[in-house]
Amino acid sequence: MRRRSYAIWWNEGDGPKHVGKLEIARPHAFLSADGSTRLAVPLADITGVEYRRGEVRVDRRGTTALRIGSLDAPGTLRELAHSLES
């Protein structure tokens, strides 16, 4: 699978909002922001992906949900949600 990259904002639970990018490269999704904030999400730990009101909610096994919004072109968020689901 080729690596896909998206310009996003994201946060975990009620935590601070980060602006950066998300890269999907099996078996992980990598989120990074401001050079020091990083998060690797094993795709196997994703239990649900829901697109609603301009953001994607990603439920993960054993930890808080992620909220992700797009800073990219229109339609990118739906593509991102589909990529995380499959």
What pLDDT, on a 0 to 100 scale, did the predictor assign at position 62? Answer: 94
CB-count exposure of residue 39 (10 Å: 0-12, 13-18, 19+): middle
Instruction: Encode pLDDT of 71-84 as tens digits.
Output: 988 788 998 999 89
Instruction: Encode pLDDT of 4-61 as tens digits.
Output: 789 999 999 999 999 999 999 889 999 999 878 899 999 999 999 999 888 999 999 9
What pLDDT, on a 0 to 100 scale, did the predictor assign at position 32? Answer: 94
